[in-house]
Structure 1
Amino acid sequence: MRLLLAEDDSLLGEGIVTALRRAGYSVDWFRDGSTVGPALQNEHFDLVVLDLGLPKMDGMDVLRQIRKRGDLTPVLILTARDDLDDRVAGLDAGADDYLGKPFSVDELLARLRALQRRRGGRADNLLQHGDLTVDPASHRVELAGTPIVLPRREFALLHALLEHRGNVLSREQLEQTLYSWEDEVGSNTIEVHVHHLRKKLGNDLIRTVRGIGYTIDSTTSPQRDLGE
C-alpha cells in the first residue's frame, strides 16, 4: 500500500516514515500543504495521513480542496489540535478518521488498517482466497495452513491484487502502489515479483492479462496439492 504523509515536523515525520515502511507501506512524505493536492492528482495513493498545522496551506484547506474535486482517498487527520470543534470540523470536511498527538504507532497502524478494510468493504482484517490467508496486521501468509514467507514487496503486491481481486491492475498501477518516488524501479521489477509469487503460491493464482496487467480472478483460488 502506498501512503502520502503530510507532516512538517521533521523529527515526528522521520519516525512515522520509519514505522510505516517497517509495516510494509511505501511512503511519500510532504512537508507543506500546497504540495499535497497536486501529488494526489498526479499519482495514486491508497491512504493519506494529514497533519492540520501545515505551512503554506493548512491541512483543513487541503482536505476541503481534495474532497471538492471528488478525491475519495481515505484521509486520517493527525494533529495536536484536540478541541472538539476542530475534530468535528475535520470529520465534516471529509476526513475518515482522527488521531491526536501524541499517539502510539500501534494505534496509527491499526487505524490505517481499519481504513483499508472499510475501503475494501470488509469487516475482517484477514484476506481469504480459497486456501490462501493473508493477515495485513502481522504480515503472515498461509496456504492451506502452511506459513509462506514473503519479502515486503511481494507481500505488498499480493495484498494489492487481493484487495482488487477480479480487477486488472496495470504494471504502472502496481509500481505506484509498491514504490515511492525515491525508490528506483527496474523495467521488469513487477514481472520478477509476480514470478516469485507464482513459485511460492502456484501458477494459477495470478493471471497475466496480456498488454494490460495482472489480476487475481475472484473465481480462481490457490489450492494446496495434497500429494505434496
Structure 2
Amino acid sequence: MNILMIEDNESVSEMMQMFFLNEGWEAEFKYDGKEGLEAFKAAPEKWDMITLDLNLPNMDGMEVGREIRKISKTVPIIMLTARDSESDQVIGLEMGADDYVTKPFSPLTLIARIKALHRRSELASDVQQDSEDADGTFDVHTDHFKMNLKTREAYLNEKPIDGLTPKEFDLLYTMAKKPRQVFTREQLLELVWDYQYFGDERTVDAHIKKLRQKIEKVGPQVIQTVWGVGYKFDDNEVGQ
C-alpha cells in the first residue's frame, strides 16, 4: 500500500513511519497543506490511502481535502484532528473524508482504521469494475426504492440519489436490504466500517446526517431514528 501522510507534526510522522514499514507499506510524508496537495496532484493514481491532518500550515486540511476530492472521488481519506467536536467531524465528512481519527491516537488504532478502509475501498473497486456487466437488475427493490451494487446507484421514486460517498452508499445498502430492522450504532460500525470504533459512535450519526440530506433532495425521508436504539430503513409511508 502507498500512503500519503499530510501531517505537520514530525514526531507523529516519524512514529507512524515505523509502523508503516512494519506492515510493509510505503509512505511519503508532507508537512504542510500545499506540499501535500502538490504531491497528490503529481501522481493521483499512485496513492492507495491519504491521512490528512486538519490543522496544517499554508493550506488548511479541509481545503486540501476538498481539492483532492475534485481530482479523485474514490481515494480513501482518513482525517486526523486534535479537535473533538461533532461539528468538526461533520465538516470533515462533508469535505469528503471517509473516516476520522481524533488525536492523540494509538498507532495501532490508525493502522486498524487504514486496513479496514482499504479493504472497503478494494471491495468497492471490484464492484465498480463489474459494472459493465450490469443487466439492469437491482439488489434492493421495493415499491419506492431500489439500489444496484454493481453500478453503485440508488433511486427513490425513480429519482437518483446523487452524490453518495462510498460509506454513505454502504450504510444505506446495509439498512435497506433489511427494511424496518433496527440497527444499533455499534452494529452499523461493525457492518459498514468492518471494525469497532471503541465506543466512538458519532461517526455513524455524522454519516446518517449527510445521507439524510441527500435523500431529502429527491423525496421523503426513509432513514428513521428509533430513539434510544439506533436507525432503520422504512419506505412504507413514501408516496409517489
TM-score normalised by structure 1 residue count: 0.52
Q: CA-to-partner distance for each residue in 1:178-221, whole Å, 9 max, x for gaps?
A: xxxxxxxxxxxxxxxxxxxxxxxxxxxxxxxxxxxxxxxxxxxx
Correspondence for 2:101 among 91, 96, 99: 99
1:60 equivalent in structure 2:
62
Q: Give, in whole Å, the separation in 2 of the partners of 1:48 and 1:28.
A: 10
Q: Give, in whole Å, the separation in 1 of the partners of 2:73 and 2:42.
A: 12
Question: What SS is found at the alignment partner of 2:108?
Answer: helix
- Deviation (angstroms), 1:90: 0.2
Question: What SS is found at the alignment partner of 1:54?
Answer: coil
Structure 1 gaps, min length 5 = 123-228
2:110 equivalent in structure 1:
108
Q: Give, in whole Å, the separation in 1 of the partners of 2:103 and 2:76.
A: 19
2:21 equivalent in structure 1:
21
Q: CA-to-partner distance for each residue in 1:51-101, whole Å, 9 max, x for gaps?
A: 011100010110011112334210000110111100000011100100001
1:120 equivalent in structure 2:
122
Counterpart residue type for residue 41 of structure 2: Q
Q: How does 1:78-227 map to 2 (within 5 A)?
A: 78-121=80-123
Alignment partner of 1:10 is 2:10? yes
Question: What SS is found at the alignment partner of 1:121?
Answer: helix
Q: Give, in whole Å, the separation in 1 of the partners of 2:103 and 2:26.
A: 23
2:211 equivalent in structure 1:
none
Question: What SS is found at the alignment partner of 1:120?
Answer: helix
Q: Give, in whole Å, the separation in 2 of the partners of 1:45 and 1:92.
A: 21
Counterpart residue type for residue 109 of structure 1: I
Question: What SS is found at the alignment partner of 1:53?
Answer: coil
Structure 2 gaps, min length 5 = 125-240
Q: Give, in whole Å, the separation in 2 of the partners of 1:9 and 1:30.
A: 10
- Deviation (angstroms), 1:15: 0.5
Question: What SS is found at the alignment partner of 2:123?
Answer: coil
Q: Give, in whole Å, the separation in 1 of the partners of 2:55 and 2:32.
A: 9
- Deviation (angstroms), 1:42: 1.6
Q: Give, in whole Å, the separation in 2 of the partners of 1:105 and 1:23.
A: 12
Q: Give, in whole Å, the separation in 2 of the partners of 1:120 and 1:97.
A: 16
**After TM superposition, which residue ranges in structure 1, 4 or more long, deviate above 3 angstroms?**
none
Question: What SS is found at the alignment partner of 1:77?
Answer: strand
Q: Give, in whole Å, the separation in 2 of the partners of 1:78 and 1:29.
A: 14
Q: Give, in whole Å, the separation in 2 of the partners of 1:10 and 1:116.
A: 24
Structure with a larger share of its residues in helix:
2
Number of matched pairs: 122
* Higher RCO (CA 8 Å, separation ≥ 6 residues): 1
1:75 equivalent in structure 2:
77
Q: Give, in whole Å, the separation in 1 of the partners of 2:90 and 2:110.
A: 19
Counterpart residue type for residue 75 of structure 1: I
2:137 equivalent in structure 1:
none
Counterpart residue type for residue 2 of structure 1: N
Question: What SS is found at the alignment partner of 2:57?
Answer: coil
Percent identity, aligned pairs only, is 41
